[in-house]
Amino acid sequence: MTVRLASLAPWERSQLFDGPVWVDTHFGLGDDGRERVRAFFAAPDADATTAPFEGAQLVPLWTALRSVPRGDDLVINDGADGETLIADDEIDRELGGDRGEASILSFRARALWGSRWVLLHVGSTGRFFGTIPGIGGRSALPLWTDREAAKAALPDGAQTAQAYLLDVIAGGDDVDYAVDPQWGPGLYIDRKLRSELIETADLFPPGYFAQLGQLNPEEHAPFLEAAALAVAEARGAGSPFSGLWVIGYQLESAPSRVVFVVDSDDLDASAAIVVDAMNRQERRRERTETVRLGDLSPESQDYVRQTRNFASAT
């Protein structure tokens, strides 16, 4: 029985696209006579130097889809258990656009990178210090995901600072960014990938699987306490918002985020009160954001209104 993408849940498709496959460099033919690229599921720890057949290439399925010639299908495990067909007309849709222009990273991988902490070299003023040669004549700012790797790459006594990757790359596109440059190719963030990663900071970016969820009061007490403080302050400041909800939000399989939803016409004033309340909490574990209820989709608004974590500011 052939598996079709339409039968898979969004999270199953996301996992599938990041999974490794052995790609056969020789084209095959389907029963309908159409040419197809053949691939075979690989073990998560597969070694690229031990190909199961001559000419096999080990790549994430997402990468394989980007290289499928237009008009061809891709079939995984052709004629065997787990046969999965991804038709030509599905490929661009799943990649979020023309395969020739698709991101080098899957939606799931971009969401995960968008939630990562990195280390960067800073000078005495606390600003980033030092670049390395990049691609196309551009300079690149080196970043690290491992403290020991950063220490090994930098001079003795060099200072490092920890920051969210998105906060670092939001600083501008005057330079590119090279994550873990000492580990082979690492991740090189050029202007195109930078803009794609920055999109993950938004709620419900197009093409991504995202969902809202209820918060566990015991696990998220600091955020609920901040909400209570914000509501009390809002009452004293003339109530720039009439209600406040605290919900969970997850983009693909990235760590969940906490979102404060305000029923307000003035997002800036409302967000300032929420940020002040959060800054007064000693147990901050996650980054948060504040959004207007009216800026969410009707379905999301209905979900938010039903959450138990609500406080009235009127």
Largest pairwise CA distance in the chain: 73
| Separation between Cα atoms, residue 192 and residue 187, nearest integer Å | 13
Residue-number span of the structural domain to which 243 is assigned: 210-312
285: confidence class by pLDDT, cuts 50, 70, 90: low
Residues 226 and 184 in one domain: no
Average pLDDT over residues 215-221: 85
Residues 173 and 88 in one domain: no
Q: Does the pLDDT value for residue 181 go beyond 90?
A: no
Average pLDDT over residues 268-291: 83
Q: Does the pLDDT value for residue 227 go beyond 60?
A: yes
185: confidence class by pLDDT, cuts 50, 70, 90: low
Residues 215 and 298 in one domain: yes
Q: Name the residue among 272, 277, 262, 278 with its Cα closest to residue 311.
A: 262
167: confidence class by pLDDT, cuts 50, 70, 90: very high
Residues 117 and 183 in one domain: yes
- What is the percent of the chain with per-residue pLDDT over 90, rounded to a whole number? 58
Domain boundary (44, 67, 102) is at 102
171: confidence class by pLDDT, cuts 50, 70, 90: confident
Q: Would you state the pLDDT for residue 311?
A: 76
30: confidence class by pLDDT, cuts 50, 70, 90: low
Residue 114's alpha-carbon distances to 13, 117, 157, 169, 295, in angstroms, are 19, 9, 29, 10, 22
Q: Would you state the pLDDT for residue 118?
A: 94
Least confident range of 204-213, 226-235, 294-303: 226-235
pLDDT in tens, 74-114: 999 988 888 999 999 999 999 999 999 999 999 999 999 99
Residues 236 and 176 in one domain: no
Residues 40 and 126 in one domain: no
Query: Which residues have a Cβ under 8 Å from the Cβ of 14 and sit 6 or more positions away?
Result: 106, 107, 108, 209, 252, 253
209: confidence class by pLDDT, cuts 50, 70, 90: very high
pTM exceeds cut of 0.95: no
Q: Would you state the pLDDT for residue 127?
A: 73
Domain boundary (102, 126, 155) is at 102
Average pLDDT over residues 18-31: 81
Read off the CATH number of the domain in which 231 is found.
3.30.460
Residues 197 and 265 in one domain: no
Tell me the CB-side half-sphere exposure of residue 68, using CA atoms within 13 A: 32
Domain boundary (175, 201, 227) is at 201
Residues 61 and 116 in one domain: no
> How many domains does the structure of the chain reveal?
3
